Amino acid sequence: MADNADRAGELLEQRMAHALTGYRLPESNDDPYCEECGEEIPAARREAAPWAATCIECQGLREQRGRHVR
Cα dihedral 7, 12, 15, 17, rounded to 10, equals -110
User: Averaged over 5-33, what is the pLDDT?
Assistant: 85
For the chain, what is the mean pLDDT? 87
pTM comes to: 0.56
- Give 21's pLDDT tier (boundaries 50, 70, 90): confident
3-state secondary structure of 65: helix
- Give 28's pLDDT tier (boundaries 50, 70, 90): confident
Which pLDDT does position 69 carry in this prediction? 57
Distance (Å, rounded) from C-alpha 55 to C-alpha 28? 14
